[in-house]
Structure 1
Amino acid sequence: MSFKNHRRVLVPLAAASIVGLALTGCTGDTAAGDKENTDCADYEAYGTFDDNPEVTIGGTIVDVEADRLIESWADFQTCTGIDIAYQGTKEFEAQIAVLAEAGNAPDIGIVAQPGLLARLADGGWLKPAPESVEANTDEFWSEDWKAYGTHDDVFYAAPLMASVKGFVWYSPAEFEENGYEIPATLDELTDLTEKIAADGDHKPWCVGLASGDATGWPGTDWVEDYVLRQAGPEVYDQWVTHEIPFNDPQIVAAFDAVGDIIKNPDYVNGGLGDVSSIVSTDFQPAGHPILDGECSLHHQATFYEGLFPEGTEVGPEGDVYAFLLPSLEADGEKAVTGAGEFPVAFNEGEAIDAVRTYMSSDTWANIRVKLGGTISANSGVDPENASSDILKQGIEILADPETTFRFDGSDLMPAAVGSDSFWKGIIAWVSGDSTQETVDNIESSWPQG
């Protein structure tokens, strides 16, 4: 997931607004360019629309990622004549069901949670994907990825962008200066944390859990990574489908392992405050103290490289780099969590179908990846188009048949849990609730039947 602030002027998407729930945050559209000087060969299949229809898109993608998203369809607009108006807000996922029920949803909504997709489909608000989108999905994605955009045997959306979670960001210069080594196991990560704390210059970890209405989600990523590594993929699957309860002892163990780090006053919150500060620290700048030598480690996904200040060099000899959160054993299988977005449609029409088909293509995926800051699980993406070594590594991880990949657990869970009680539970837990109290409360919120 990514929720970032943006600076653009706002233009409402819907003809009518809902008080307190209108989409706000960022907006953008790219005016049709010079068609005579644009190579339109890759866009001929989408047709030409002489009446310049507008297709509205909403989502949680904001800030520089929104700028890049808008740029990714600039030539498509020029060549097809379709005007795309995008608007993003951190509150999109909290608002979209209300907007859909009132008939004020955008034509296309980019959702990051299969659980939310299912809720919108159950509400009767979504339109099935056209055959052209399904054909692209069958060609360029695995069956697992297609399943994330499917509900009750109806295919609603192709995947869009992706991320690999569980990276730990650090300063290569600091590691070299202090003789720190990349940990090969979770125990070695604990040893490294203890060593940095003992050196006494700063707290080892910097953490931020704030994200508007989605505050808490970075903490769920921590727990999911530990469930997958400690308990294994089968238990992970049972957990997210509620075949085992949320308060199963194996989940308690994962919470406790995470708590040993992020609830430890000796380990957080470097450059930002005490343990309590992680609740109010926005996740976007939470890793920046690494650049100032005020913390050493920050847990976040591949997309986080785009959140460092402009000019930050990302690489093994750069200002920052990252390693994957290790497994229990040094030679353990490569198990990673990740996430993605799914453009669902609330309205139908030829122009809407054309936009959805383009966004499900390898053409779009390569353009967007080349613009920087993200990756895709689209098999047609050339890893060399990635804007950094970390992102190239992320594409290769997703494409590697030896990788054990699991989608973000909270995104797969019912919305009442994954984007409500789990997020809120993380905040209550960090703020003082015990692990058992936290998992019991989340378990009690799981929908019955």
Structure 2
Amino acid sequence: MRRVPSRALRTLLTAACLLALVPGCGSPAPDPLVVLGPWTGAEGEAFEAALEQLDDGTGRTYTYEGTRSLRETLVSQLEADDPPDVAILNSIGELTEYARRGRLRPLAQGITERAFRPWAPTLIVDGKLRTYWVPLKVDLKSLVWSRKGASDADPAWCVGLASQATSGWPGTDWIEDILLHQAGPTVYTDWAMSRLSWRDPAVRRAWTTWAGLLGKRSPTSIERSLTTSYEGAAGPDGPRGLLDSPGFACTHEHQSAFIRYVYAGADIGVQPSARFLDGPADFRGAYEVSGDMAAVFSDDPAAQELVERLSSQAGRDGWRAKADPAVRPLFPTSTGPTPADPTERTIDTLLTSGARTLCFDASDTMPPELRDAFHRAVLEFFRNAAEQHLDSLLRQLDTVRTQATEEASADRSFRPPEDLCASPGG
């Protein structure tokens, strides 16, 4: 990953060069476009390679900054008035806040035409209809991983909830997926968009269903899950995955498609989570997904052009070609040849033709303060699943929901998105 001076420092150096009239100090080359994103390791390398091949001879280059602390990094850059040209975020809630506060630039018409609805919604900001982000890739979340040959009759669930500043999200994924398959996309959307109380019976049942699936756990196993990364224990070649980690006598894991990179080459199979979640048959065709959306933070026209090229079919094909099967990006519509890797092929088939409905990750849609409270509540519930404790947690979440809703309603110049679910074809 190439490092470049901050935009403010580059501007200062250019001005100093021109004022000093240094020989040979002519018109400076255009600054590299800075892209901030969530991918590191092999994922980051594949994306950076895709960026490099976008060079069209204009002399414009791109610098990718990948970080696991994406929100904190972006906030600090915004506070320093030195934002990236393009940022790739997975939270519609955060993107909505940035749009409402005037930090995002509306996308050009050519980009919005390929935006997958409803995850790239048209927002009303200051009375104008605008689109501010476009999904680059998605990951299927309604999945269960297990060692081939393991019985599905009485699964022992792997759970690792630690994830730095966002610890708890593997648990929110559980609750979201259970609610989607028990109550359906309409109830799921109403809850995610704060139109439904956290104390609604359907929401409460999702929490108690999760506790029932996990079964009785010892204090030692609870602490191990709370302090172990969702990636599992570290091995000599990187994370080993929870199914391969010592101390986890488990047979099944509920986790997103991205986790396949820790199981590359292992004898691990994947199947839809609906088979385990005690929901009606009508909702088995619904799948939860997460998305990585590109948004423009600068006025540089080249930033718009970059997002347009990344979201194009050619951009997708180039990205896939640069990535190994274990980290190859997934899209909500079929693209390119049928994957040769069996795990990738299974997930791609479920995503593009097996699903009737795709619903965006609920917590990634919530206002940041409500999402963070949800993460914390999951950790507390995992430690103590008593009914009285759950009632207290749900009351607290309802209070945060009400406050966030009132704050958003006070800004009449803005209307957030209303829908989260759509067919795979958009």
Using structure 1 for the length normalisation, give the TM-score.
0.74
Contact 1:133 1:357 in 2 (8 A): yes
The answer as to 2:197 corresponding to 1:245 is yes
Supply the distance in 2 between the matched residues of 1:383 and 1:145 (Cα, whole angstroms).
25
The one of 307, 324, 333 aligned to 1:356:
307
What's the secondary structure of 1:336's corresponding residue?
strand
The answer as to 2:253 corresponding to 1:298 is yes
Supply the distance in 2 between the matched residues of 1:95 and 1:441 (Cα, whole angstroms).
28
What's the secondary structure of 1:400's corresponding residue?
helix
Map 1:190-201 to 2 at 5 A: 191-193=153-155
Q: Which has the higher strand share?
A: 2
What is residue 223 of structure 2 aligned with on the other side? Answer: 276
Supply the distance in 1 between the matched residues of 2:97 and 2:5 (Cα, whole angstroms).
22
Supply the distance in 2 between the matched residues of 1:334 and 1:290 (Cα, whole angstroms).
26
The answer as to 2:288 corresponding to 1:337 is yes
How far residue 124 of structure 1 moved from its aligned partner, in angstroms, is 1.0
What's the secondary structure of 2:191's corresponding residue?
helix
The one of 214, 218, 222 aligned to 2:174:
222
Supply the distance in 1 between the matched residues of 2:157 and 2:211 (Cα, whole angstroms).
12
Deviations 1:5-36 (A, max 9, x none): xxx7x84773569xxxxxxxxxxxxxxxxxxx
The answer as to 2:16 corresponding to 1:64 is no
Return the structure number with greater relative CO, CA threshold 8 A, min gap 6.
Answer: 2
What is residue 115 of structure 1 aligned with on the other side? Answer: 93
Deviations 1:106-135 (A, max 9, x none): 111111011110011112111111222123
The one of 357, 368, 377 aligned to 2:331:
377
Letter in structure 1 aligned against 2:173: D
Cα pair distance change 1:416/1:168, threshold 3 Å: same
Cα pair distance change 1:220/1:151, threshold 3 Å: farther
What is residue 213 of structure 1 aligned with on the other side? Answer: 165
Deviations 1:198-249 (A, max 9, x none): xxxxxx2221111111111111100000000111111101111222112211
What is residue 141 of structure 2 aligned with on the other side? Answer: 165
Contact 2:169 2:375 in 1 (8 A): yes
Supply the distance in 2 between the matched residues of 1:324 and 1:379 (Cα, whole angstroms).
18
How far residue 262 of structure 1 moved from its aligned partner, in angstroms, is 3.7
Cα pair distance change 1:397/1:250, threshold 3 Å: same
Supply the distance in 2 between the matched residues of 1:305 and 1:409 (Cα, whole angstroms).
22
Letter in structure 1 aligned against 2:174: W
Cα pair distance change 1:160/1:382, threshold 3 Å: same
Letter in structure 1 aligned against 2:209: A
How far residue 255 of structure 1 moved from its aligned partner, in angstroms, is 0.5
What's the secondary structure of 2:261's corresponding residue?
helix
Supply the distance in 1 between the matched residues of 2:113 and 2:31 (Cα, whole angstroms).
24
Letter in structure 2 aligned against 1:211: S
How far residue 151 of structure 1 moved from its aligned partner, in angstroms, is 6.0
What is residue 213 of structure 2 aligned with on the other side? Answer: 261
Deviations 1:260-312 (A, max 9, x none): 2346317x9xxxx611221111112267242369421111111110133xxx3
The one of 259, 264, 268 aligned to 1:320:
268
Contact 2:274 2:284 in 1 (8 A): no
Map 1:428-439 to 2 at 5 A: 428-432=380-384, 434-439=389-394
What's the secondary structure of 1:158's corresponding residue?
strand
Cα pair distance change 1:378/1:448, threshold 3 Å: closer
How far residue 393 of structure 1 moved from its aligned partner, in angstroms, is 3.2
How far residue 97 of structure 1 moved from its aligned partner, in angstroms, is 3.4
What is residue 6 of structure 2 aligned with on the other side? Answer: 14
What RMSD over aligned residues (CA atoms) do the two structures have, in Å? 2.7
Supply the distance in 1 between the matched residues of 2:44 and 2:55 (Cα, whole angstroms).
16
Contact 1:168 1:298 in 2 (8 A): yes
Cα pair distance change 1:289/1:381, threshold 3 Å: same
The answer as to 2:397 corresponding to 1:442 is yes
Gaps of 5+ in 1: 1-7, 18-49, 182-190, 194-203
Supply the distance in 1 between the matched residues of 2:332 and 2:174 (Cα, whole angstroms).
26
Letter in structure 1 aligned against 2:284: E
Letter in structure 2 aligned against 1:161: K
What is residue 361 of structure 2 aligned with on the other side? Answer: 408
What's the secondary structure of 1:239's corresponding residue?
helix
Contact 2:231 2:242 in 1 (8 A): no
The answer as to 2:212 corresponding to 1:236 is no
Runs of 4+ in 1 over 6 A off after TM superposition: none
How far residue 381 of structure 1 moved from its aligned partner, in angstroms, is 1.4
Identity of aligned residues (%): 22
How far residue 438 of structure 1 moved from its aligned partner, in angstroms, is 1.8
Cα pair distance change 1:132/1:380, threshold 3 Å: farther
What is residue 417 of structure 1 aligned with on the other side? Answer: 370
What's the secondary structure of 1:243's corresponding residue?
coil
Contact 1:150 1:157 in 2 (8 A): no
Contact 1:97 1:120 in 2 (8 A): no
Supply the distance in 2 between the matched residues of 1:67 and 1:261 (Cα, whole angstroms).
38
Gaps of 5+ in 2: 10-27, 234-239, 407-426
Cα pair distance change 1:150/1:72, threshold 3 Å: farther
Letter in structure 2 aligned against 1:164: L
Cα pair distance change 1:169/1:303, threshold 3 Å: same
What is residue 346 of structure 1 aligned with on the other side? Answer: 297
Map 1:182-193 to 2 at 5 A: 191-193=153-155
How far residue 52 of structure 1 moved from its aligned partner, in angstroms, is 5.2
What's the secondary structure of 1:106's corresponding residue?
coil
What is residue 144 of structure 1 aligned with on the other side? Answer: 118
